[in-house]
Each structure stands twice: as structure tokens, then as C-alpha cells.
Amino acid sequence: MKDFEFTLRFDTSACDESGEELAELLAAHGCDDATIGIGVPSRVALMFTRQADSAIEAVVSAVRDVRSALPGATLVEASPDFVGVTELADFVGRSRQNIRKLLVTCGRWGPTPVHEGSSSVWHLAPVLLWLRDEKSYHVEDDLLELATATMQFNRVAQEVSIGGPVDRKIRSALSRP
């Protein structure tokens, strides 16, 4: 068993409970290994330190516990996943400038951001893989495992929220020939 530290953010607008009631319900349904943040209306963030054999098991069990306590809650985001240059630098123990230079000069051989602009954002897992495999940076296996699990959760949560026939058309357009 290993400890995995991650954050889950849920939309609670379909739930009737108030902040204090939310915290009590979550603790009663197995989320006593999380710090609960309820500062934003209709949102709850839970910072877990959960023991499990794998990262995916840790996140699955945490999501199930939250949904058991708050059946109307919808997963908004699992992290660590979406990161900018500063967060990437923190994760690998390098300077922001070092990481920015690597990402700017990598061209088509590097990880593709999910958002480009004045502040670009990447999925953490592909960047960690690239830094480990292409740049020989030390990357903790547990962090890579967790980043992969949270990325998968975010992708599925996004697909579930979109759903419907448009999703099939988009999937068809994006699939490789």
C-alpha cells in the first residue's frame, strides 16, 4: 500500500446540503482522509491522502466515497493533471526558466499543450514521460502513475459531461484513418 496525494473538485449544485452538512456527510462516507474546501458556492474540493495499491484504485475509491455521500455531485477536475510551467518546474525540482526553455524549443518532438496562449497548460503525465524518456530527468514513478490516473479521470469526466450524438461525430472526426 502506498500513499497518494491528489485533489478532487466536485460541482455540488445538485446537492441540498450546506457546507457543514457536506463536510459531515463526506467524513461519514469514508472521506476522513481528505481536507475539505468549501469556499466557492456549489463547489467542494477535497485534498486526499489515500492509501491504495495503485493510483487508479486510490482515485476510484475516493470518487466513489464522495458520490456515496453526495449522489448529485459531479466531478469537475482531478489533479494533479492540468499544469503550467511553474507547476511543472515544482514537480521535477527544476527552475521555471529551465522548463520553459525546454518546452519552447522542443517543437513537434515535445508534449503538446492542451491550451496555448499567454499561459500554456499541459497534461502533467505526458510531460513527465517526455522529461523522463527524452531529457533523462528523474521522475517519481508514483507521481507519473497518479498524473496518468487523474488525466484519465478528467478525460472521462469531460466525455460524460458532453455525451450525446455530437460526441460520436467529434470522435469520428478525430479518429485516425
d(CA 53, CA 162): 31
Is there a contact between 153 and 59 (Cβ–Cβ < 8 Å)?
Answer: yes
Predicted confidence at residue 90, as pLDDT, reads 94
Q: Is 151 exposed, middle or buried (0-12, 13-18, 19+ CB in 10 A)?
A: buried
What digits encode the pLDDT tens for the residues 121-147? 999 999 999 999 999 999 999 999 999
Predicted confidence at residue 166, as pLDDT, reads 60
Predicted confidence at residue 162, as pLDDT, reads 67
Is there a contact between 50 and 57 (Cβ–Cβ < 8 Å)?
Answer: no
Beta-carbon count within 10 A of 168 CB: 10
Predicted confidence at residue 98, as pLDDT, reads 93
Partner residues linked to 45 by β-bridges: 9, 37
Predicted confidence at residue 21, as pLDDT, reads 84
What digits encode the pLDDT tens for the residues 89-99? 999 999 999 99
Residues of the chain short of pLDDT 50, as ranges, are: none
d(CA 43, CA 65): 16
d(CA 151, CA 55): 11
